[in-house]
Amino acid sequence: MIVVDRFVWYKGMIENRSVLKKVCQGKIYNPDNLFRDIAVSSLMSSHKNVLKLLGCCLEFPHPVLVCEYAENGNLTGIGRARKGSEPLPWSLRLKIAKEIANAVTYLHTEFPRTIIHRDLKLRNSWTRIGP
């Protein structure tokens, strides 16, 4: 389980496939924002640097989004070494930064109406790339 702002992320399995389940916490979520998140996630799912939205369920007490799994988690500790390992080399850090910038550029330019993330930070960025 990983808590990120108003969401809790859980690792799960669907049909022998690892997934991330994003669950809204309590009454903190705004339904309008949730529907916007679903719509934007759906639009962005075709981009190679964005977690693919696999599905959602609005019938639970707390809405749930299901995305593809990112093996290496979020980027909160990217500049620090994990126990027993070396920090990520700068070349890999720059590759990740370039891919995030590429996804944000896509978000800002590829749709009829500009979409702005408003909460871009390391703990909201997930990676399949790792040491």
Estimate the share of the chain in helix, then strand, then coil, as percent rounded to the nearest 5.
Answer: 30, 25, 50
- What count of other Cβ atoms lies within 10 Å of the Cβ of residue 59? 7
Contact 74, 124 (CB under 8 A): yes
* Dihedral angle over CA of 74, 47, 45, 125, nearest 10: 10
Answer yes or no: 119 catalytic: yes
Helix (H) or strand (E) holding 8, with range, is strand 7-14
Catalytic annotation, residues:
119
